[in-house]
């Protein structure tokens, strides 16, 4: 029997925005999610220091929390870093790894991303592994090659061995992040289909448990067209996740 696809997943990536005053937005989001059951799981990934206060607000609600990055090791002399175990302890159930902003600003390689995803699984967090081509790679027609390579190298070996490990791939074209430009629905379908085929090749039946979500300039105005595509299992939302009403509109655009 073919494994059932998991429910869709909408993740808000707050990046380096928000303070404890943002608790008001989280309260609004929790209230909105309480009004009607969404057709997806809903996660926000605030800066790690906000996990403990937000955990007080989301308790018992439909909203889940995640981190934006983690160190590969459990603990150690790594000034400024946060481990997956620490995120879990602070209330996270998910963690984004390999976001293009980190790949670029901190020269994170696919190998480092794989180590972080492995750390997430070890800590019992659900890793959201980001991949995506740059504008230059896209224009040169190298999109699928780049994505296949990133996918192969950014996933930890542990995944092959861990039968029940759930994880998510976020396809985020770098040129679509924060720019208002997005690939056409047909392009998104094609690329997600290719990513899923690559996952199946690597993981076999187990790939059915993973999700392929889209990220890059997702807003309330375009969410319906993207999130209801057959190959799209959800979205990673940056800017539009900061305001509860905008984010909820994206969440409820899923049929
Ligand atoms: P954006 O960011 O929605 O603001 O384009 C998406 C992301 O970087 O994850």
Contact predicate 99/68, CB 8 Å: yes
This prediction has a pTM of 0.96
- Catalytic residues, by residue number, are 99, 172
DSSP state of 49: G
Say which residues have a Cβ less than 8 Å from residue 75's Cβ, sequence separation at least 6.
83, 85
Measured CA to CA, the distance from residue 154 to residue 129 in angstroms comes to: 7
Residue 241 CA, closest ligand 1 atom number: 3
* DSSP-derived secondary structure for 98-109: --HHHHHHT---
Residue 204 CA, ligand 1 centroid: distance in Å: 30
What residues pair up with 96 in beta bridges, in sequence order? 128
Does 239 contact ligand 1 (Cβ within 6 A)?
Answer: yes
45-76: b (≥16 Cβ within 10 Å) or e:
bbebebbeebeebbeeebbbbbbbbbbbeeee
Residue 13 CA, ligand 1 centroid: distance in Å: 7
Q: DSSP 3-state assignment of 162?
A: coil
Instruction: Single out the residue of 210, 202, 201, 204 nearest to residue 171, CA to CA.
Output: 210
Measured CA to CA, the distance from residue 253 to residue 31 in angstroms comes to: 17
Greatest CA separation found in the chain? 48
Measured CA to CA, the distance from residue 135 to residue 238 in angstroms comes to: 19
Contact predicate 177/134, CB 8 Å: no
Tokens of residue 123, six digits: 């800590």
Q: DSSP 3-state assignment of 213?
A: strand
pLDDT at residue 211, as a whole number: 96
Pocket test for ligand 1, best of 129, 183, 216 (most atoms within 8 A of CB): 216
Residue 240 CA, closest ligand 1 atom number: 3
pLDDT at residue 164, as a whole number: 67
103-124: b (≥16 Cβ within 10 Å) or e:
beeeebebebbbbbbbbbbbbe
Measured CA to CA, the distance from residue 84 to residue 82 in angstroms comes to: 7
Tens digit of pLDDT per residue, the chain (255 long)?
556 789 999 999 999 999 999 999 999 999 999 999 999 999 999 999 999 999 999 999 999 999 999 999 999 999 999 999 999 999 999 999 999 999 999 999 999 999 999 999 999 999 999 999 999 999 999 999 999 999 999 998 877 666 667 899 999 999 999 999 999 999 999 999 999 999 999 888 888 889 999 999 999 999 999 999 999 999 999 999 999 999 999 999 999
Tokens of residue 224, six digits: 């319906």
Does 174 contact ligand 1 (Cβ within 6 A)?
Answer: no
Tokens of residue 128, six digits: 């959201």
Does 253 contact ligand 1 (Cβ within 6 A)?
Answer: no
pLDDT at residue 204, as a whole number: 85
Does 236 contact ligand 1 (Cβ within 6 A)?
Answer: yes
Residue 105 CA, ligand 1 centroid: distance in Å: 16
Closest residue by CA, ligand 1 atom 3:
238
Residue 124 CA, ligand 1 centroid: distance in Å: 25
pLDDT at residue 77, as a whole number: 98
pLDDT at residue 163, as a whole number: 65
pLDDT at residue 3, as a whole number: 63
Does 217 contact ligand 1 (Cβ within 6 A)?
Answer: yes
Does 13 contact ligand 1 (Cβ within 6 A)?
Answer: yes
Residue 236 CA, closest ligand 1 atom number: 9
Rg, the chain, Cα only:
17
Residue 177 CA, closest ligand 1 atom number: 5
């Amino acid at each position: 029997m073919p494994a059932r696809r998991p429910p869709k997943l909408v993740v808000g990536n707050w990046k380096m925005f928000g303070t404890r005053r943002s608790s008001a937005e989280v309260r609004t989001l929790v209230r909105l999610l309480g009004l009607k059951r969404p057709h997806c799981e809903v996660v926000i990934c605030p800066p790690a220091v906000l996990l403990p206060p937000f955990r007080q607000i989301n308790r018992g609600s439909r909203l889940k929390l995640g981190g934006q990055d983690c160190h590969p090791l459990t603990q150690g002399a790594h000034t400024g870093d946060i481990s997956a175990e620490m995120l879990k302890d602070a209330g996270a159930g998910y963690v984004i790894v390999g976001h293009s902003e980190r790949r670029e600003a901190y020269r994170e390689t696919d190998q480092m991303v794989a180590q972080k995803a492995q750390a997430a699984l070890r800590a019992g967090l659900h890793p959201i592994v980001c991949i995506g081509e740059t504008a230059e790679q896209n224009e040169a027609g190298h999109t699928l090659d780049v994505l296949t390579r990133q996918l192969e190298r950014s996933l930890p070996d542990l995944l092959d061995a861990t039968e029940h490990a759930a994880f998510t791939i976020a396809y985020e074209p770098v040129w679509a992040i924060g720019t208002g430009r997005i690939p056409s629905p047909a392009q998104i379908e094609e690329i997600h289909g290719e990513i899923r085929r690559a996952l199946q090749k690597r993981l076999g039946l187990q790939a059915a448990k993973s999700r392929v979500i889209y990220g890059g300039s997702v807003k309330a105005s375009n969410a319906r067209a993207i999130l209801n595509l057959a190959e799209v299992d959800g979205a990673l939302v940056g800017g539009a996740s900061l305001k509860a009403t905008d984010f909820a509109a994206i969440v409820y655009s899923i049929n």
